[in-house]
Structure 1
Amino acid sequence: MDPTPQRIAYVDETSAKTGTGTRLYGLATVLTEARHHQVIAAEMATVLPPGRDYLHHYDETPVRRAAIAKVIANLPLDGAIVLTEVASSQQQERARTRLLAHLLPRLQHDEGVEQVFLESRSGADKHDRRTRERLRSSRRISTDFRVDHIAKSATALIWLPDFVAGAYIAARFHGEAEPWEMITTGHVVDVISL
């Protein structure tokens, strides 16, 4: 019998203006199995333009977004989670802390994830580490639950939550529904507003 596949989650943030002085802040998470990473990375590399180190939803045209969403819809992913909260621009770090405090225990205990990779925000990573340590201290996550930061250029897998988040925002706020529809037809995506 094969051992249980190692489940890994990749997380990226998103935000969009919702009205006067408020923003929708969110975290998108894509769940994967380590045994599929080579295939996922190879497929994502096929849509990377020459001369670029990474994909970013915002940088793509609507036509390219749809093409990338089609690739993502056909990848062997275990699904995705989008958590959102409305906050002012000054409250985004607090919103991120709150969303991570909800997300990390869910990933470990409900989804069976063994490791989480957050896209690095350089100096701001310290806030995420503080949240992780508080969750460990309160025993909401275990000390062996890995939560690490990686650069966007480190692996094609960290591009996935960026595209899930970007497709969600584009569908909800900018009338660009096709990529979001493709992704959610291909995968289960839980969208949760806190």
Structure 2
Amino acid sequence: MTVHAFVDESRRNDTYYLGVALVDPGALAPLRALLRGLLLPGQRELHFNRETPQRRRLVLSRLAHFGARVDVYRADCRKSEELARRTCVERLVNDLLDLGAARLVLDSRVGRDYHDVRTIRDVLGTRPSESSMAYEHFDSTGDPLLWLADLAVWSYGAGGDWGRRVAPVIGSVIRLDWS
């Protein structure tokens, strides 16, 4: 079965994290409904950096119960955050092609999305027979499944109790660190 992938980033000191929520087509609507149901009145998105610890615990508990999965790509970003992101996106796209992913949605980094487009096109160009995967950038309010990637990668990067709480949601961790 093909999957849809939703991507957001986080940075902690010298480590760059790219989280990818992998969602089966049949789970798209129920997971979106769950995430929208966690919004407070007047809230347009869940962004873990702005949530209280109590809200973070509630959200992580609900997602773990749902069985959501987020893979984490990590790279050293001391030399360049953009190079770290490119390294992560290259590996991510290759992994998604191996999975037969139908769609890739990345959280928009207004003014810098062209870097991702170039990286994705470069990877797809090396695998022309598998290049039917659709990809696009959305503002984080555009799809609740981007929130899933955000909250998982934020929690994983924070470590400690947050890392423990998000562990049931984390699938693979792919280290792409370089020296």
**Same fold (TM > 0.5):** yes
| AA partner of residue 189 (structure 1) | G
Structure 2 residue matching 1:10: 3-state secondary structure: strand
Structure 2: distance between partners of 1:139 and 1:45:
36
Residues 51-110 of structure 1: CA deviation (Å, up to 9, x unaligned): 111010100111111111011112243x2210111122x60011111111111111121x
| Structure 2: segments with no counterpart, 5+ residues | none
TM-score (normalised: structure 1): 0.84
Residues 93-129 of structure 1: CA deviation (Å, up to 9, x unaligned): 11111111111111121x3321111001121000000
Q: Percent of aligned pairs with the same residue?
A: 27
RMSD: 1.7
**Residues 4 and 25 of structure 2 are in contact (CA less than 8 Å); yes or no, is this contact kept in structure 1?**
yes
**Residues 152 and 170 of structure 2 are in contact (CA less than 8 Å); yes or no, is this contact kept in structure 1?**
no
Structure 2 residue matching 1:152: 3-state secondary structure: coil
- Tell me what 1:139 maps to: 127
Structure 2 residue matching 1:49: 3-state secondary structure: coil
**Residues 64 and 166 of structure 2 are in contact (CA less than 8 Å); yes or no, is this contact kept in structure 1?**
yes
Q: 1:148 to 1:141 in 2, by over 3 A?
A: farther
- Tell me what 1:193 maps to: 175
How many residues end up aligned between the 2 structures?
Answer: 176
Structure 2 residue matching 1:132: 3-state secondary structure: helix
| Structure 1: segments with no counterpart, 5+ residues | 18-22
Deviation at 1:168, TM superposition (A): 0.5
Residues 140-167 of structure 1: CA deviation (Å, up to 9, x unaligned): 7833111211111112111000011011
**Residues 17 and 157 of structure 2 are in contact (CA less than 8 Å); yes or no, is this contact kept in structure 1?**
no
- Tell me what 2:5 maps to: 9
Structure 1: distance between partners of 2:97 and 2:7:
14
